[in-house]
C-alpha cells in the first residue's frame, strides 16, 4: 500500500507521520500519535465528538483526510491547558458542573473556543448555535452553555449576555 | 461530627472532571495494547431464516486476517439474565437483522471489514413477526421453538412468544368498575429508542499464558460481565478480569455483554489482544434499545374524581431475545398502577418476542412508556369530567403511610409537594396563556434499586484516603457523591479522596451502576467503612496515649480527645510502621421492602425501594400549520430525599429531561419489514442545543430512612415524565391528543387537520 509522508503541526509541535492516503486526521491523531483526547463515535460528521481546531476553525476530524491538513495549524484538546493551568473554558466546565461522562466534552470545548474567538461578545443563542453540531447525551446542554458564557466573561470581560 | 455537614450537600466539582476536560481521561474506546488486532462482527441480513451454512474459508486466507470464528468455534451455551435464550452466534437460525453470525480479527479495521465481506452465509427465509400483534396472533411463527427447554428463573410465566407475563391483582377490579360513575378506556403506543451514549460500546481483550483473560470494557456492570463471560467461555470467574477504564455514557445500554465476548473469543483464537468498537449502524440496529410498547388502560372514576379501579396491560416488543424484557414487564406494572390510591387493580406486563433487535434497559426501563399512558389518561379523564388536571391528581395521589399497588407501605412521600411546586413554578393558574400555547403536567414514582455494594477504604501515607469501589463511574458523578459521604464521615475534604473503581480482581463486589443506586448504595457502604476506619484510627491514637478509644473522635483530619490531637498523616505513618497500614471494609445491602406477595404473579420486581416521587411541567407552543412544537420552559420538582450535590442532581435532571424530550418529540428507531430505516445520527434525531428549553430544577427533600443522609436514587426519574408532560401540554395548547410516541410535527399537523387519529 502506498504511504504518504506528512508533516503535521499539532498543538504547536511538528509531527512527521507516514500514513496511507485514505486515513483521516482522527485515525492519525488517535492511532498513530496517541492523542485520544479527540474522541470517535459516528465517523460520519454527525456527532461532533471528534472536533478539533484547524486554523482556528472547529472541524470534524473523522471526515478530514490527514493529507488535507498538511501545513495547517491543528489544535486538539491536549493543546489547551498550558503549563498545568487549565484554559478558562476547561476551568468553567469543571466549576459549572458541565461535565458528566465527559466523552463529548473535548469537542464541546473546542467548538466553544472557535466560537468565542470569532464572537467574544457571546450570547446564549450564539453559544447554542455554535454547539449545535456537538451532541451531548448526558447534560441537556444547559450547564455547558452556562460554562461557555462564564468563560466568555472571564476571557473577554463582562460583555456576555445570558 | 458535631457541626453541620461540610461536604455532603455541597456544590463541589466532581473528582474526575480535570481528566475529562483535558482529554487525559482514558475511555474504553481509547484503550489500546501493543500488537492489538481489530475485531469486527458479521451480522445477519435476514430477520428470520434458517442458517444453511456459514463459509469462512476464503476470509481466513485474506491478508492481515488473524482469526475468524463462527458458531462452530465457540461453546454451545445459552446465556442471558432472567431467561437464558441467547447464543454468541446464531446457530441453526437467525432471528433478527443484525444478529451476530461470525467475527473476525485482523491487523487493521479495513482488513477486518474485507474479511467480513468474504464470508458467505446461506439463508432460507422463514415467516417472521415484526410486532406484538403478529407475534401473539394464533398460529404465529415461534421465534424460539425450544422455549420450554430454556433455563429461566422459575417465577416467569412464559408461553410461546411471550417470555414473561407479570401481574398485579389487588381488590376486585370488576367491582371497582361497577362503583365508578364513568369508565374510560384508552390505547397508547410508544416507539423503540436508543440510549444514545456518545461513546460506542468497546472492549479490548488479552489472554495470558495461565489461561486468564483480561477485558477492558465500557460496561456499567463489570461483575455481571465477568459472570457472563464465565458462562460463555466455560471458565471459572476467577479466570476473568474485567476492568472499566472509563465510560462515555451508558443509560442502561451498557449493562449486558456487548462486544466483550467477541473480543475475548477472537483474542484467544488469535493469541493477540483484540479490540472491538461498535459502529453507529450496529448501535442503531443491534444494541439493547428501549422496547416499543402498546398499552391499554381502563380506569373507573366517580363523578367527583376519585379513581375506583384500573385495569391496564402493557406489551413490550422485546425483540428476538428476552434481554431485560421479563424484568421490564414487571417493573412496568408498578408504573402503570401509578402513584395513586386505587383500591382495585388488575395490571399486566407482557414481554413478547419478535424478529427485531434484542431490547434491553434504558434509564428507568418501562418508565416513560407506562407513564406516558397513565399520565396522558389522567388528563383525558380530567378533561372529560371537567376537572383541573392538577386537582384530579391531588385527589388521588399517594401520601405518607399509604399503600403502594403491591401493598408496600409508602414513607417519605414528597409527591404532593412536587406537584404543587412544579405547578406553581410553571404558572399553572394560566394554563393556556395565549392562542396555541399550553402547559402540561405529569407525575410519577420510581425505585432506588437494591443490590449490594462493598468498598475498601485505605488511609494513604499522606493522610488522604483512597476509596476502592467495584462500581463504575458512568458519568452521573455518583462516585463523587459517595466520596462526599466518605469525606464527611472521615472529617477530611472531598479533594482528599481518590477513587479506584470497577476492576473485578482488585475492587470489592458491586451490583453495578444501574437503577439509580450507585450514590445510594456505595454511599452507604462508605458510611460503614468510615465508621470502621474511625474506630481503627481512634484505637491507634488511644494506644499511643494510653487512654480509652471511646473517649476519642475523628475531626478535621485529626483524632482528638483527652485534650490532645494527632493528625491523620501521623497516624498513617504509625500504622504503616506497626500494622500494615489501615484499611476498612464497608458493605451495604438495601433492606427488603415488604409487600403483599398475594398481589403479584411472575413478578421480578414487586416493590419500589426508597421510592422517589416527581412532577414535571412544561410550557410550549404548537405551530398549527406545521405541527411543530416549541418548548418554552420546563420545570422538574423531584423528591431526591437529600441533595448530596445539587449541581450534579440538576445535571441528572437536565440530561434526563433532554433524553425524555427526545423520546417525546423526535426519536424512534423505525423498522420496516424487519430492517431499521434510520441507522444513523442524521435520521435518528436526538436533541441538540437548539432543541431544548431551559430546565428549572426544584429539589424536594423528604429523606429516605435508609439512604445515606436521606438520599434517594436520582438518576433515572427525570427521564420518565417528559413524554406525558409534552402530550398533555400539546393537548392544552391546540386541543389534539396524540397517543403515540414520538409526537412528531407530522402527527400533530395531521391531527390538527382532522385527517387521522395519530
Ligand atoms: S465521530 Fe466525527 S462527527 Fe461523530
Ligand atoms: S457529558 Fe456525556 S455526552 Fe456529554
Inside any domain, residue B579:
yes
Do residue B582 and residue B607 come from a single domain?
no
A40 touches chain B (CB under 8 A): yes
A32-53 tens-digit pLDDT: 999 999 999 999 999 999 999 9
Q: How confident is the model at residue B755 (pLDDT cuts 50, 70, 90)?
A: confident
Inside any domain, residue B1:
no
- Cβ within 8 Å of A, B 229-268: 246-251
Best probe of the A interface among B24, B198, B473, by most A CBs < 10 A, is B198
pLDDT > 90: percent of chain B? 98
Ligand 1 within 6 A of CB of A49 = yes
B634-666 tens-digit pLDDT: 999 999 999 999 999 999 999 999 999 999 999
How far is it, in rounded angstroms, from Cα B615 to Cα B722? Answer: 10
Identify the CATH number of the domain in which residue B561 sits: 3.30.365.10
Which chain A residues touch B250 with a CB distance below 8 Å? 101
Q: Which of B279, B250, B251, B259 is nearest to B216 (CA)?
A: B259
A108 touches chain B (CB under 8 A): no
Ligand 2: nearest atom to the Cα of A99: 1
Ligand 1 within 6 A of CB of A27 = no
Q: Which of B294, B370, B386, B383 is nearest to B728 (CA)?
A: B383
Q: How far apart are the first and last CA of chain B?
A: 59
B248 Cα–ligand 1 center, Å: 14
Ligand 2: nearest atom to the Cα of A108: 4
Segment holding B295, helix H or strand E: strand B292-301
Do residue B657 and residue B701 come from a single domain?
yes
Look-up of cell digits 462516585: B479
> Scanning every residue of chain A, which has its alpha carbon at the shortest distance from the alpha carbon of B18?
A94
A105 touches chain B (CB under 8 A): yes
HEC assignment per residue over B50-116? EEEEEECHHHHCCCCEEEEEEHHHCCCCCECCCEECECCCCCCEECCCCCEEEEEEECCHHHHHHHH
Q: Which domains does chain A have, with CATH numbers?
A: 4-79 (3.10.20.30), 88-156 (1.10.150.120)
The C-alpha cell at B99 is 444478529
Domain of B572 in residue numbering reads as 17-25+450-589
Ligand 1: nearest atom to the Cα of A43: 1
Mean pLDDT of chain B: 97
Minimal CA separation from B534 to chain A, in Å: 31
Determine contact, residues B255/B267, Cβ cutoff 8 Å.
Answer: no
Closest CB from A90, A131, A144 relative to B22 = A90
State yes or no: pLDDT of B757 exceeds 90: no
Q: How confident is the model at residue B682 (pLDDT cuts 50, 70, 90)?
A: very high
CA atoms within 13 A on the CB side of B336: 36
Phi and psi for B67 in degrees, rounded to 5? -160, 140
State yes or no: pLDDT of B206 exceeds 50: yes
How far is it, in rounded angstroms, from Cα B118 to Cα B55? Answer: 9
A52 Cα–ligand 1 center, Å: 11
B283 alpha carbon, closest ligand = 1
Inside any domain, residue B702:
yes
B218 touches chain A (CB under 8 A): no
Per DSSP, the three-state class of B446 is strand
Q: How confident is the model at residue A92 (pLDDT cuts 50, 70, 90)?
A: very high
The C-alpha cell at B184 is 374510560
Q: How many CB atoms lie within 10 A of CB B400?
A: 13
Q: How confident is the model at residue B3 (pLDDT cuts 50, 70, 90)?
A: low
How far is it, in rounded angstroms, from Cα B36 to Cα A120? Answer: 45
Determine contact, residues B240/B233, Cβ cutoff 8 Å.
Answer: yes
**Ligand 2 pocket, mutate which of B16, B25, B194, B475 (most atoms under 8 A from CB):** B475
Do residue B432 and residue B319 come from a single domain?
yes
**Secondary structure tally for chain B: helices H, strands E:** 18, 31
- Cβ within 8 Å of A, B 645-684: 647-648, 650-651, 654-659, 680-682
State yes or no: pLDDT of A112 exceeds 60: yes
CB contact under 8 A, B249 and A103: yes
pLDDT > 70: percent of chain B? 99
- Cβ within 8 Å of A, B 482-541: none
CB contact under 8 A, A100 and B29: no
How far is it, in rounded angstroms, from Cα B85 to Cα B70? Answer: 18
- Number of domains within chain B: 3
Q: If you take atom 2 of ligand 2, which residue's CA is the nearest one?
A: A101
Beta carbons within 8 Å of B565's beta carbon, 6+ residues apart: B558, B559
State residue A1's pLDDT score: 61
- Cβ within 8 Å of B, A 76-95: 76-78, 80-81, 86, 90, 93-95
How far is it, in rounded angstroms, from Cα B131 to Cα B162? Answer: 12
The burial class, CB within 10 Å (0-12 / 13-18 / 19+), for A77 is: buried
How far is it, in rounded angstroms, from Cα A114 to Cα A132? Answer: 13
Which chain A residues touch B35 with a CB distance below 8 Å? none
Inside any domain, residue B142:
no
Ligand 1: nearest atom to the Cα of A41: 1
The C-alpha cell at B593 is 421492602
Best probe of the A interface among B244, B658, B664, B689, by most A CBs < 10 A, is B689
B302-360 tens-digit pLDDT: 999 999 999 999 999 999 999 999 999 999 999 999 999 999 999 999 999 999 999 99
Q: Is the dihedral of CA B696, B362, B721, B682 positive or negative?
A: positive
CB contact under 8 A, B658 and A140: yes
Q: How confident is the model at residue A162 (pLDDT cuts 50, 70, 90)?
A: very low
Do residue B434 and residue B463 come from a single domain?
no
How far is it, in rounded angstroms, from Cα B85 to Cα B104? Answer: 24
Minimal CA separation from B201 to chain A, in Å: 10
Inside any domain, residue B43:
yes
State residue B72's pLDDT score: 96
Do residue B551 and residue B478 come from a single domain?
yes
Q: Is A73 left (phi over 0), alpha (psi -120 to 50) or beta?
A: beta
Do residue B444 and residue B523 come from a single domain?
no
State residue A158's pLDDT score: 60
B497 Cα–ligand 1 center, Å: 35
How far is it, in rounded angstroms, from Cα B218 to Cα A8? Answer: 31
Q: How confident is the model at residue B626 (pLDDT cuts 50, 70, 90)?
A: very high
Size of interface A-B (CB pairs under 8 A): 173
Closest CB from B23, B30, B681 relative to A42 = B681
How far is it, in rounded angstroms, from Cα B121 to Cα B118? Answer: 10
> Scanning every residue of chain A, which has its alpha carbon at the shortest distance from the alpha carbon of B480?
A100
Q: How many CB atoms lie within 10 A of CB A70?
A: 12
Per DSSP, the three-state class of B688 is coil
Q: If you take atom 3 of ligand 2, which residue's CA is the nearest one?
A: A136
Ligand 1: nearest atom to the Cα of A62: 2
**Ligand 2 pocket, mutate which of A41, A104, A144 (most atoms under 8 A from CB):** A104
Residue-wise burial string across B683-718, b where 16 or more C-beta atoms lie within 10 A, e elsewhere: ebbbbbbebbbbbbbbbbbbbbebbbbbbbbbbbbb
Identify the CATH number of the domain in which residue B203 sits: 3.90.1170.50
Look-up of cell digits 490532645: B564
* Cα separations in angstroms, B361 against A139, B328, B406, B612, B672: 20, 8, 23, 19, 23
How far is it, in rounded angstroms, from Cα B755 to Cα B705? Answer: 53
Do residue B483 and residue B374 come from a single domain?
no
Do residue B640 and residue B730 come from a single domain?
yes
Best probe of the A interface among B17, B244, B282, B699, by most A CBs < 10 A, is B17
Asked which of B525, B556, B589 is the last residue of a domain, the reply is: B589
State CA B501 to chain mean position distance. Answer: 19
Mean pLDDT of B9-15: 98
**Secondary structure tally for chain A: helices H, strands E:** 5, 5
The burial class, CB within 10 Å (0-12 / 13-18 / 19+), for B665 is: buried
B196 touches chain A (CB under 8 A): yes
The C-alpha cell at B36 is 492489538
A136 Cα–ligand 2 center, Å: 5
Inside any domain, residue B601:
yes
Q: If you take atom 3 of ligand 1, which residue's CA is the nearest one?
A: A45
Mean pLDDT of B466-488: 98
Mean pLDDT of B203-221: 98
Beta carbons within 8 Å of B644's beta carbon, 6+ residues apart: B8, B9, B481, B484, B485, B519, B523, B708, B709, B711
Asked which of B545, B569, B589 is the last residue of a domain, the reply is: B589
Beta carbons within 8 Å of B79's beta carbon, 6+ residues apart: B86, B87, B228, B231, B232, B257
Determine contact, residues B14/B651, Cβ cutoff 8 Å.
Answer: no
Q: Which of B41, B50, B27 is nearest to B69 (CA)?
A: B41
Inside any domain, residue B148:
no
β-pairing verdict for A4-10 and A73-75:
parallel
The C-alpha cell at B268 is 484467544
State yes or no: pLDDT of B379 exceeds 60: yes
Q: Which of B284, B283, B292, B309 is nearest to B368 (CA)?
A: B292
Q: Which of A30, A160, A26 is nearest to A89 (CA)?
A: A160
> Using a 6 Å CB cutoff, which residues line ligand 2?
A 100-105, 136-139; B 198, 249, 475
Do residue B348 and residue B369 come from a single domain?
yes
State yes or no: pLDDT of A82 exceeds 90: no
Ligand 2: nearest atom to the Cα of A98: 1
Do residue B388 and residue B491 come from a single domain?
no
**Ligand 1 pocket, mutate which of A48, A52, A64, A132 (most atoms under 8 A from CB):** A48
Asked which of B589, B608, B640 is the last residue of a domain, the reply is: B589
Do residue B444 and residue B455 come from a single domain?
no
Determine contact, residues B642/B7, Cβ cutoff 8 Å.
Answer: no
CB contact under 8 A, B24 and A106: no
* Cα separations in angstroms, B324 against B39, B143, B331, B332, B493: 26, 17, 11, 12, 40
Q: How many CB atoms lie within 10 A of CB B304?
A: 10
Do residue B307 and residue B434 come from a single domain?
yes
State yes or no: pLDDT of B425 exceeds 50: yes
> Scanning every residue of chain A, which has its alpha carbon at the shortest distance from the alpha carbon of B38?
A31
Ligand 1 within 6 A of CB of A104 = no
B534-590 tens-digit pLDDT: 999 999 999 999 999 999 999 999 999 989 999 999 999 999 998 899 999 999 999
Best probe of the B interface among A85, A87, A140, A143, by most B CBs < 10 A, is A140
Determine contact, residues B524/B454, Cβ cutoff 8 Å.
Answer: no
Inside any domain, residue B475:
yes
A104 alpha carbon, closest ligand = 2
pLDDT > 90: percent of chain A? 91
The C-alpha cell at B146 is 425450544
Q: Which of B390, B353, B427, B446 is nearest to B141 (CA)?
A: B353
Look-up of cell digits 442458517: B51
How far is it, in rounded angstroms, from Cα B160 to Cα B306? Answer: 39
- Rg (Cα) of chain B, in Å, rounded? 27
Best probe of the A interface among B21, B200, B513, by most A CBs < 10 A, is B21
Q: How confident is the model at residue B1 (pLDDT cuts 50, 70, 90)?
A: very low
Phi and psi for A132 in degrees, rounded to 5? -65, -20
Determine contact, residues B659/B719, Cβ cutoff 8 Å.
Answer: yes
Residue-wise burial string across A40-61, b where 16 or more C-beta atoms lie within 10 A, e elsewhere: bbbbebbbbbbbbbbeeebbbb
Amino acid at each position: 500500500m502506498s504511504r504518504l509522508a506528512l508533516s503535521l503541526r499539532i498543538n504547536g509541535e511538528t509531527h512527521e507521520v507516514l500514513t496511507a492516503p485514505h486515513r483521516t486526521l482522527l485515525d492519525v491523531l488517535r492511532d498513530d500519535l496517541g492523542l485520544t483526547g479527540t474522541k470517535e463515535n459516528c465517523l460520519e460528521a454527525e456527532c461532533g465528538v471528534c472536533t478539533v481546531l484547524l486554523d482556528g476553525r472547529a472541524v470534524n476530524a473523522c471526515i478530514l483526510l490527514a493529507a488535507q491538513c498538511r501545513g495547517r495549524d491543528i489544535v486538539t484538546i491536549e493543546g489547551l491547558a498550558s503549563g498545568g493551568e487549565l484554559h478558562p473554558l476547561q476551568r468553567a466546565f469543571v466549576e459549572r458542573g458541565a461535565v458528566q461522562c465527559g466523552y463529548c466534552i473535548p469537542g464541546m470545548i473546542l467548538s466553544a473556543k472557535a466560537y468565542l474567538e470569532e464572537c467574544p461578545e457571546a450570547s446564549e443563542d450564539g453559544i447554542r448555535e455554535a454547539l449545535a453540531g456537538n451532541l451531548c447525551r448526558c447534560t441537556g446542554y444547559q450547564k455547558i452553555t452556562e460554562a461557555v458564557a462564564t468563560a466568555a466573561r472571564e476571557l473577554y470581560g463582562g460583555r456576555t449576555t445570558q | 461530627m458535631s457541626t453541620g455537614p461540610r461536604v455532603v450537600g455541597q456544590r463541589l466539582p466532581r473528582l474526575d472532571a480535570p481528566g475529562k476536560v483535558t482529554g487525559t481521561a482514558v475511555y474504553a474506546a481509547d484503550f489500546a495494547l501493543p500488537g492489538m488486532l481489530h475485531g469486527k462482527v458479521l451480522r445477519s441480513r435476514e430477520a428470520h431464516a434458517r442458517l444453511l451454512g456459514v463459509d469462512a474459508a476464503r476470509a481466513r486466507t485474506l491478508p492481515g486476517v488473524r482469526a475468524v470464528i463462527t458458531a462452530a468455534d465457540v461453546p454451545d451455551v445459552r446465556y442471558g439474565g432472567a431467561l437464558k435464550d441467547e447464543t454468541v452466534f446464531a446457530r441453526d437460525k437467525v432471528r433478527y437483522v443484525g444478529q451476530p453470525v461470525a467475527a473476525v480479527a485482523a491487523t487493521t479495521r479495513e482488513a477486518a471489514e474485507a474479511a467480513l465481506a468474504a464470508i458467505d452465509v446461506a439463508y432460507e427465509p422463514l415467516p417472521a413477526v415484526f410486532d406484538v400483534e403478529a407475534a401473539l396472533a394464533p398460529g404465529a411463527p415461534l421465534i424460539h421453538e425450544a422455549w420450554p427447554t430454556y433455563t429461566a428463573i422459575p417465577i416467569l410465566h412464559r408461553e410461546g412468544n411471550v417470555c414473561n407475563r407479570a401481574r398485579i391483582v389487588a381488590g376486585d377490579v370488576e367491582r371497582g368498575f361497577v362503583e365508578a360513575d364513568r369508565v374510560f378506556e384508552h390505547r397508547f403506543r410508544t416507539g423503540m429508542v436508543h440510549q444514545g451514549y456518545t461513546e460506542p460500546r468497546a472492549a479490548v481483550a488479552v489472554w495470558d499464558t495461565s489461561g486468564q483473560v483480561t477485558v477492558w470494557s465500557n460496561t456499567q456492570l463489570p461483575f455481571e460481565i465477568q459472570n457472563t463471560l464465565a458462562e460463555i467461555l466455560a471458565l471459572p470467574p476467577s479466570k476473568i478480569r474485567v476492568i472499566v477504564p472509563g465510560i462515555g455514557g451508558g443509560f442502561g445500554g451498557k449493562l449486558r455483554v456487548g462486544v466483550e465476548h467477541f473480543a475475548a473469543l477472537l483474542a484467544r483464537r488469535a493469541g493477540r489482544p483484540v479490540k472491538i468498537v461498535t459502529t453507529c449502524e450496529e448501535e442503531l440496529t443491534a444494541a439493547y434499545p428501549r422496547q416499543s410498547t402498546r398499552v391499554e388502560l381502563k380506569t373507573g372514576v366517580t363523578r367527583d374524581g376519585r379513581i375506583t379501579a384500573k385495569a391496564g396491560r402493557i406489551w413490550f416488543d422485546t425483540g428476538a431475545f428476552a434481554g431485560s424484557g421479563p424484568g421490564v414487564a414487571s417493573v412496568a406494572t408498578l408504573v402503570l398502577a401509578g402513584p395513586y390510591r386505587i383500591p382495585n387493580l388488575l395490571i399486566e406486563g407482557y414481554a413478547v418476542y419478535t424478529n427485531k433487535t434484542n431490547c434491553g434497559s434504558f434509564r428507568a426501563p418501562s418508565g416513560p412508556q407506562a407513564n406516558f399512558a397513565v399520565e396522558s389518561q389522567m388528563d383525558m379523564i380530567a378533561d372529560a369530567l371537567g376537572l383541573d388536571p392538577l386537582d384530579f391528581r391531588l385527589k388521588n395521589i399517594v401520601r405518607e403511610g399509604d399503600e403502594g399497588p403491591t401493598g408496600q407501605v409508602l414513607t417519605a412521600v414528597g409527591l404532593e409537594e412536587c406537584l404543587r411546586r412544579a405547578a406553581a413554578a410553571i404558572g399553572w393558574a394560566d394554563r393556556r396563556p395565549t392562542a396555541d400555547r399550553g402547559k402540561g403536567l405529569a407525575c410519577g414514582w420510581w425505585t432506588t434499586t437494591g443490590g449490594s455494594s462493598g468498598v475498601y477504604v485505605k488511609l494513604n501515607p499522606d493522610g488522604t484516603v483512597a476509596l476502592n469501589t467495584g462500581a463504575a463511574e458512568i458519568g452521573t458523578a455518583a462516585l463523587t457523591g459517595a466520596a462526599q459521604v466518605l469525606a464527611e464521615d472521615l472529617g477530611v475534604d472531598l479533594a482528599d479522596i481518590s477513587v479506584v473503581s470497577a476492576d473485578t480482581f482488585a475492587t470489592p463486589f458491586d451490583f453495578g451502576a444501574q437503577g439509580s443506586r450507585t450514590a445510594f448504595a456505595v454511599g452507604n457502604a462508605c458510611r460503614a467503612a468510615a465508621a470502621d476506619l474511625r474506630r481503627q484510627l481512634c484505637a491507634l491514637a488511644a494506644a499511643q496515649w494510653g487512654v480509652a478509644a471511646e473517649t476519642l473522635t475523628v475531626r478535621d483530619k485529626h483524632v482528638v480527645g483527652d485534650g490532645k490531637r494527632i493528625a491523620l498523616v501521623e497516624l498513617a505513618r504509625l500504622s504503616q510502621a506497626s500494622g500494615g497500614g489501615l484499611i476498612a471494609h464497608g458493605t451495604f445491602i438495601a433492606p427488603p421492602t415488604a409487600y403483599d406477595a398475594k398481589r403479584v404473579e411472575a413478578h421480578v420486581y414487586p416493590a419500589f425501594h426508597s421510592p422517589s416521587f416527581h412532577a414535571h411541567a412544561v410550557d410550549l407552543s404548537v405551530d398549527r400549520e406545521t405541527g411543530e412544537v416549541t418548548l418554552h420552559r420546563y420545570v422538574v420538582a423531584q423528591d431526591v430525599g437529600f441533595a448530596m450535590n445539587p449541581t450534579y442532581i440538576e445535571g441528572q435532571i437536565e440530561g434526563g429531561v433532554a433524553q425524555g424530550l427526545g423520546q417525546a418529540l423526535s426519536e424512534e428507531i423505525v423498522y420496516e419489514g424487519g430492517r431499521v430505516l434510520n441507522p444513523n445520527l442524521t435520521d435518528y434525531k436526538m436533541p441538540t442545543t437548539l432543541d431544548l428549553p431551559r430546565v428549572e430544577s426544584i429539589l424536594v427533600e423528604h429523606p429516605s430512612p435508609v439512604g445515606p443522609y436521606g438520599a434517594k436514587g436520582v438518576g433515572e426519574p427525570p427521564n420518565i415524565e417528559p413524554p406525558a408532560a409534552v402530550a398533555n401540554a400539546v393537548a392544552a395548547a391546540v386541543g389534539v391528543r396524540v397517543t403515540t410516541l414520538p409526537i412528531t410535527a407530522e402527527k400533530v399537523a395531521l391531527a390538527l387537520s382532522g385527517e387521522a387519529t395519530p
